[in-house]
Amino acid sequence: MESEILKVITQGATDYFAQVGGQPALTHPAYLENPKSTPVDDFSALIGISGRYRGCVYFTAPRALLTPLLERLGERTREDSLYADLAGEISNTIAGNARRQLGAGFMISVPILLRGRPDELQFPRGVDCFVVPIEWGGQRARLVFAIRQEEAA
Protein backbone atom coordinates (compact mmCIF):
# COMPACT_ATOMS: atom_id res chain seq x y z
CA MET A 1 0.00 0.00 0.00
CA GLU A 2 2.80 2.42 0.87
CA SER A 3 4.28 1.99 -2.59
CA GLU A 4 0.93 2.79 -4.21
CA ILE A 5 0.49 5.95 -2.14
CA LEU A 6 4.08 6.90 -2.87
CA LYS A 7 3.58 6.43 -6.61
CA VAL A 8 0.34 8.42 -6.66
CA ILE A 9 1.70 11.32 -4.61
CA THR A 10 4.93 11.47 -6.59
CA GLN A 11 2.98 11.55 -9.85
CA GLY A 12 0.75 14.29 -8.45
CA ALA A 13 3.75 16.46 -7.69
CA THR A 14 5.23 15.92 -11.14
CA ASP A 15 1.93 16.78 -12.80
CA TYR A 16 1.37 19.90 -10.69
CA PHE A 17 4.68 21.44 -11.63
CA ALA A 18 4.26 20.45 -15.28
CA GLN A 19 0.88 22.13 -15.47
CA VAL A 20 1.39 25.21 -13.31
CA GLY A 21 5.14 25.62 -13.57
CA GLY A 22 5.47 24.81 -17.26
CA GLN A 23 7.93 21.97 -16.75
CA PRO A 24 7.64 18.75 -14.77
CA ALA A 25 9.43 18.43 -11.47
CA LEU A 26 12.12 15.84 -11.03
CA THR A 27 11.29 13.60 -8.12
CA HIS A 28 14.11 11.82 -6.32
CA PRO A 29 13.78 8.44 -4.63
CA ALA A 30 11.78 8.58 -1.41
CA TYR A 31 13.50 7.84 1.86
CA LEU A 32 12.35 6.95 5.33
CA GLU A 33 12.74 9.62 7.96
CA ASN A 34 12.37 9.80 11.71
CA PRO A 35 9.06 11.63 12.31
CA LYS A 36 10.83 13.93 14.77
CA SER A 37 13.30 15.19 12.20
CA THR A 38 11.36 15.52 8.97
CA PRO A 39 12.41 18.51 6.83
CA VAL A 40 10.67 21.85 7.25
CA ASP A 41 11.51 24.68 4.87
CA ASP A 42 10.39 28.34 4.55
CA PHE A 43 6.74 27.53 3.80
CA SER A 44 4.85 24.34 4.60
CA ALA A 45 1.27 23.17 4.46
CA LEU A 46 -0.16 20.00 5.93
CA ILE A 47 -3.22 18.04 4.83
CA GLY A 48 -4.86 15.61 7.23
CA ILE A 49 -6.04 12.33 5.74
CA SER A 50 -9.08 10.49 7.06
CA GLY A 51 -11.65 7.97 5.86
CA ARG A 52 -10.27 4.65 4.67
CA TYR A 53 -6.79 6.08 5.13
CA ARG A 54 -5.29 7.82 8.16
CA GLY A 55 -2.37 10.14 8.45
CA CYS A 56 -1.10 13.30 6.89
CA VAL A 57 0.92 14.70 4.03
CA TYR A 58 2.74 17.98 3.93
CA PHE A 59 4.54 19.99 1.29
CA THR A 60 7.48 22.16 2.30
CA ALA A 61 9.46 24.47 0.03
CA PRO A 62 11.95 27.32 0.08
CA ARG A 63 10.88 30.78 -0.96
CA ALA A 64 13.11 30.57 -4.03
CA LEU A 65 11.15 27.63 -5.43
CA LEU A 66 7.77 29.27 -4.89
CA THR A 67 8.65 32.70 -6.34
CA PRO A 68 8.63 31.66 -10.03
CA LEU A 69 5.38 29.75 -9.46
CA LEU A 70 3.78 32.88 -8.01
CA GLU A 71 4.98 34.78 -11.07
CA ARG A 72 3.45 32.22 -13.40
CA LEU A 73 0.19 32.61 -11.50
CA GLY A 74 0.33 36.33 -12.22
CA GLU A 75 1.26 37.47 -8.72
CA ARG A 76 3.53 40.49 -8.51
CA THR A 77 3.43 41.03 -4.76
CA ARG A 78 5.78 39.07 -2.53
CA GLU A 79 3.87 38.78 0.71
CA ASP A 80 4.55 35.84 3.00
CA SER A 81 0.82 35.13 3.18
CA LEU A 82 0.78 34.47 -0.57
CA TYR A 83 3.73 32.09 -0.33
CA ALA A 84 2.06 30.22 2.51
CA ASP A 85 -1.22 30.10 0.62
CA LEU A 86 0.55 28.71 -2.45
CA ALA A 87 2.15 25.96 -0.35
CA GLY A 88 -1.35 25.15 0.89
CA GLU A 89 -2.77 25.04 -2.61
CA ILE A 90 0.04 22.78 -3.82
CA SER A 91 -0.46 20.30 -0.98
CA ASN A 92 -4.23 20.43 -1.47
CA THR A 93 -3.95 19.77 -5.20
CA ILE A 94 -1.48 16.91 -4.86
CA ALA A 95 -3.53 15.24 -2.11
CA GLY A 96 -6.83 15.85 -3.92
CA ASN A 97 -5.52 14.47 -7.19
CA ALA A 98 -4.45 11.31 -5.35
CA ARG A 99 -8.12 10.42 -5.03
CA ARG A 100 -8.15 9.53 -8.72
CA GLN A 101 -6.33 6.30 -7.80
CA LEU A 102 -7.09 5.95 -4.10
CA GLY A 103 -10.80 6.74 -4.29
CA ALA A 104 -13.19 8.89 -2.29
CA GLY A 105 -12.20 7.03 0.91
CA PHE A 106 -9.02 9.11 0.80
CA MET A 107 -10.55 12.14 2.52
CA ILE A 108 -8.52 15.30 2.82
CA SER A 109 -8.73 18.24 5.19
CA VAL A 110 -8.29 21.89 4.37
CA PRO A 111 -4.59 22.81 4.35
CA ILE A 112 -3.03 23.76 7.67
CA LEU A 113 -0.32 26.33 7.05
CA LEU A 114 2.74 25.64 9.19
CA ARG A 115 5.22 28.13 10.54
CA GLY A 116 8.56 26.60 11.37
CA ARG A 117 8.27 23.24 13.07
CA PRO A 118 5.18 23.37 15.26
CA ASP A 119 4.55 20.96 18.11
CA GLU A 120 1.33 19.78 16.50
CA LEU A 121 3.26 18.20 13.64
CA GLN A 122 2.43 14.72 14.83
CA PHE A 123 2.39 11.65 12.67
CA PRO A 124 0.30 8.55 13.28
CA ARG A 125 2.10 6.06 15.49
CA GLY A 126 3.56 2.99 13.91
CA VAL A 127 3.37 4.36 10.38
CA ASP A 128 6.51 4.88 8.33
CA CYS A 129 7.25 8.46 7.44
CA PHE A 130 8.46 9.02 3.88
CA VAL A 131 10.14 12.04 2.33
CA VAL A 132 10.00 12.65 -1.42
CA PRO A 133 12.50 15.26 -2.65
CA ILE A 134 11.13 17.34 -5.52
CA GLU A 135 13.48 19.31 -7.72
CA TRP A 136 12.16 22.11 -9.85
CA GLY A 137 13.73 25.28 -11.22
CA GLY A 138 17.03 24.44 -9.59
CA GLN A 139 15.43 24.37 -6.13
CA ARG A 140 14.33 21.54 -3.90
CA ALA A 141 11.01 21.05 -2.12
CA ARG A 142 9.91 18.01 -0.14
CA LEU A 143 6.69 16.08 0.21
CA VAL A 144 6.43 14.27 3.52
CA PHE A 145 3.78 11.73 4.27
CA ALA A 146 2.82 9.12 6.83
CA ILE A 147 -0.37 7.36 5.76
CA ARG A 148 -1.82 3.97 6.54
CA GLN A 149 -4.84 2.23 5.14
CA GLU A 150 -7.47 1.38 7.73
CA GLU A 151 -8.40 -2.25 8.01
CA ALA A 152 -11.81 -3.10 6.61
CA ALA A 153 -14.47 -3.46 9.34
Residues 34-63 that bind other proteins (CB under 8 A): none
Closest CB to other proteins among 108 and 129? 108
Smallest CA-to-CA distance from 53 within 112, 107, 15, 126 is with 107
Least Å from the CB of residue 44 to other proteins: 15
Q: Is 92 in the site for other proteins (CB under 8 A)?
A: yes
Q: Is 20 in the site for other proteins (CB under 8 A)?
A: yes
Q: Is 65 exposed, middle or buried (0-12, 13-18, 19+ CB in 10 A)?
A: buried
- Choose, by CB under 8 A, the member of 40, 63, 68, 89 that binds other proteins: 89
Query: In sequence order, which residues have a C-beta less than 8 Å from that of residue 19 and are 6 or more positions away?
Result: none
Secondary structure element (H or E) that encloses residue 53, with its range:
strand 53-61
Least Å from the CB of residue 86 to other proteins: 5
Is residue 63 classed as helix, strand or coil in its secondary structure? helix
Q: Is 16 in the site for other proteins (CB under 8 A)?
A: yes
Residues 93-112 that bind other proteins (CB under 8 A): 93-100, 102-104, 106, 108-111
| Contact between 99 and 106 (Cβ < 8 Å) | yes
Smallest CA-to-CA distance from 145 within 72, 44, 74, 68 is with 44
Residues in touch with other proteins (CB under 8 A): 16, 19-20, 70, 73-75, 81-82, 85-86, 88-89, 92-100, 102-104, 106, 108-111
